[in-house]
Structure 1
Amino acid sequence: MPRHYYALDLRDDAAAIAEYERMHQPGNVWPEIVASIRASGIEAMEIFRTGNRLVMVVQVPDGYDASATRGADDPKMHDAWEALMDRYQQRLPWAWAGQKWVPMTRIFSLAQHA
């Protein structure tokens, strides 16, 4: 099962970061968003933070195609959630126009070393 890693920055504001974290606690993420993530085939998702940098880990089944499923069930609801989250997020300097979560490239794996 492949894992994908993505990075994004939050606005460097302690109150905004605290609110963003609060909004991601159990029971605070809109149930439709959680259901949509699961319905899209994503098997596991975690977000980690250090300072204002976020790293998201997404585990998906082999052959998963994110472009075919993202927000397909209710695009308006996804747009509303993304607009809400956008208040707290800022793009990485190397992100292309419109890109929020930037894919990360693995540069080391202990499993590949004898």
Structure 2
Amino acid sequence: MKRYCLTCDLKDNKELIKKYKIHHEKNNVWPDVIESIKNPGILNMQIFLIHTRLFMIIDAEDCFSMKKKEQMDAENIKVQEWEDLMKTFQQIPDFSKNGEKWVLMDKIFDLDEYK
């Protein structure tokens, strides 16, 4: 299994953040989007929020490819509609190198290495 951790920022607007959270409540994420998450081999995905900072954890099969997932999403009209909607809430983090909203984080500590 592979694990990916990513971060993204929301616009600093309480009403927008409230709406963003509602869009991510159970049964509010569009079925096509859920399917697009599961299809390329993502086993679990969680998103956490503090103030305007989002933190996403992805657990995926060993064969999972982030590049392939991005390609599949780019070809999926419903996923693109969802992404366009999410752009109203999200902003590109200042430290983004390539203008991506979700920035892959580097792992700097792993307790398992101390066993």
Q: 1:22-66: CA deviations, max 9, x gaps?
A: 000011101111012111211000000111100000001113112
Structure 1 residue runs of 5 or longer lacking an equivalent are: none
Residue pairs, 1:63-102, within 5 angstroms: 63-70=63-70, 72=72, 75-102=76-103
Residue pairs, 1:29-108, within 5 angstroms: 29-70=29-70, 72=72, 75-108=76-109
**What amino acid maps onto 2:61 in structure 1?**
P
Secondary structure of the residue aligned to 2:63 is: coil
- Residues 95 and 102 in structure 1, CA contact (< 8 A), matched pair in contact too: yes
RMSD: 1.6
Structure 2 residue runs of 5 or longer lacking an equivalent are: none
**Identity between Structure 1 and Structure 2 (%):** 33
Question: What is the TM-score normalised by the length of structure 2?
Answer: 0.90
- Residues 90 and 100 in structure 1, CA contact (< 8 A), matched pair in contact too: yes
In structure 2, C-alpha distance between the alignment counterparts of 1:35 and 1:70, rounded to whole Å: 14
Which consecutive aligned stretches of 4+ in structure 1 deviate over 6 angstroms post-superposition?
none
Question: What is the TM-score normalised by the length of structure 1?
Answer: 0.91
